[in-house]
């Protein structure tokens, strides 16, 4: 029997430093997130970051936490429940980090008799720290514990026409009641080094971004190319002009150079250049989470207004909207009946 495994990032059990510590430990010790050798990762993560970050992160999570739990988890569960109503196949939800493990969710599918699984990383774009780590972990778990299960992976859907349509519609809906003069596409950042590491040709990707509009096999795994593409397609769908739109990267950790321009600097630049009414969208995430609800909707608003802006809105992610569930339902049903994957 066929079944579907949805996987997102995960969240701590509660917004407390006590629960943040093991969660961040698992997350940041992932060699695809902090890609240093183990001995150095130990020093960076356990010796430095985990000394202060759990408390700081817990305070941020506390600001966005819902009565039912973490927004990312609750939204992902609502999405999963709605998807279940659209298909006869068993659908499980797992998280890359934290207690809702990929192993548990594969077991859930196995207990229902599933031996053919469509793995759906809930990320529109390929990055080694998001999409790739989910696929690698699922394959490791499958090999060790579920050798009789077959895994097929849904490709990153950053340029898929149905995804672009539903994303554009959600942005258009979000803009209906907001008189904007600029739109910022803010994507989760990654260290520049990750762009080079993910380049299978090892010569195509250039740190200045000049490579990302030239056709190349490297774009199959180039996060920056993929976010440029999503932006270009949404712009075309909504008929936005170049001067109405900017693109930036958020959520960097101190230390390495990350993809630029940085979102917090863009808030300041745009306000200084006279933008008064700014709408921000966050298409690297399909579900609202700490990075959108706190960093963008709260902190970002303060930064923009402080720099001279007047009105600011964050347009929600696709979350569990019926239209987005329908797109996913079409993809999984197509795979079930024909074996085809969306492109």
Ligand X SMILES: C=CC1=C(C)c2cc3[nH]c(cc4nc(cc5[nH]c(cc1n2)c(C)c5CCC(=O)O)C(CCC(=O)O)=C4C)c(C)c3C=C
Annotated binding site for Fe(2+): 188, 291
Among 212, 271, 317, 325, binds Fe ion (CB under 5 A): 212
Residue for token pair 């976010």: 227
Tokens for 66?
A: 């819902």
Among 5, 6, 7, 9, binds ligand X (CB under 6 A): 9
| 211 forms part of the interface with Fe ion (CB under 5 A) | yes
Residue among 166 and 290 whose Cβ is closer to ligand X: 290
User: How many Å apart are CA 208 and CA 220, to the nearest integer?
Assistant: 19
Among 24, 154, 167, 205, binds Fe ion (CB under 5 A): 205
Shortest distance in whole angstroms from residue 149 CB to ligand X:
26
Q: What is the DSSP letter of 288?
A: -
User: How many Å apart are CA 336 and CA 3, to the nearest integer?
Assistant: 8
> For ligand X, how many residues bind (rule: CB under 6 A)?
22
| 32 forms part of the interface with Fe ion (CB under 5 A) | no
CB contact set of 54 (below 8 Å; sequence gap of 6+): 17, 18, 20, 21, 24
Among 7, 156, 284, 328, binds ligand X (CB under 6 A): 284
User: How many Å apart are CA 123 and CA 74, to the nearest integer?
Assistant: 17
The number of CA neighbours under 13 Å toward the Cβ of 240 is 22
User: How many Å apart are CA 244 and CA 181, to the nearest integer?
Assistant: 7
Stretch of 75-83, 88-96, 161-169, 289-297 contacting ligand X, by CB under 6 A: 289-297
For 13, list phi and psi in degrees, rounded to 5: -65, -35
Q: Which residues bind Fe ion (CB under 5 A)?
A: 205, 211-212, 222, 225
Q: Which residues bind ligand X (CB under 6 A)?
A: 9, 11, 33-34, 53, 57, 70, 72, 123, 127, 129-130, 188, 190, 223, 251, 253, 284-285, 289-291
């Amino acid at each position: 029997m066929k079944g579907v495994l949805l996987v997102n990032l995960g969240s701590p059990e509660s917004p407390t430093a006590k629960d943040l510590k093991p969660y961040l430990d698992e997350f940041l010790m992932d060699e695809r997130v902090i890609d240093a050798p183990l001995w150095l990762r130990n020093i960076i993560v356990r010796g430095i970051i985990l000394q202060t970050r759990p408390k700081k992160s817990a305070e941020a999570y506390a600001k966005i936490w819902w009565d039912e739990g973490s927004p990312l988890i609750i939204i992902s569960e609502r999405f999963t429940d709605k998807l279940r109503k659209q298909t006869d196949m068993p659908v499980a939800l797992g998280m890359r980090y934290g207690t809702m493990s990929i192993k548990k969710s594969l077991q859930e599918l196995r207990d229902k008799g599933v031996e053919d699984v469509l793995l759906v990383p809930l990320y529109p774009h390929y990055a080694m720290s998001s999409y790739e780590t989910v696929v690698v972990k699922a394959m490791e778990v499958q090999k060790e514990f579920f050798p009789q299960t077959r895994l097929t992976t849904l490709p990153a859907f950053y340029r898929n026409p149905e995804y672009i349509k539903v994303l554009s519609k959600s942005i258009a809906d979000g803009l209906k009641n907001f008189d904007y003069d600029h739109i910022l596409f803010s994507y989760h950042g990654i260290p520049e080094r990750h762009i080079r590491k993910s380049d299978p040709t090892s010569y195509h990707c250039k740190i200045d971004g000049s490579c990302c509009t030239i056709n190349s096999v490297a774009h199959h795994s180039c996060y920056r190319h993929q976010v440029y593409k999503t932006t270009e397609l949404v712009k075309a769908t909504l008929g936005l002009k170049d001067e109405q739109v900017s693109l930036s990267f958020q959520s960097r950790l101190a230390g390495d150079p990350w993809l630029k321009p940085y979102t917090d600097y863009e808030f300041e630049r745009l306000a200084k250049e006279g933008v008064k009414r700014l709408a921000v969208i966050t298409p690297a995430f399909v579900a609202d989470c700490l990075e959108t609800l706190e960093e963008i909707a709260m902190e970002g608003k303060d930064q923009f207004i402080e720099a001279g802006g007047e009105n600011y809105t964050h347009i929600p992610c696709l979350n569990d909207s019926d239209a987005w569930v329908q797109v996913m339902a079409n993809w999984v049903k197509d795979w079930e009946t024909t074996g085809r994957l969306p492109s």
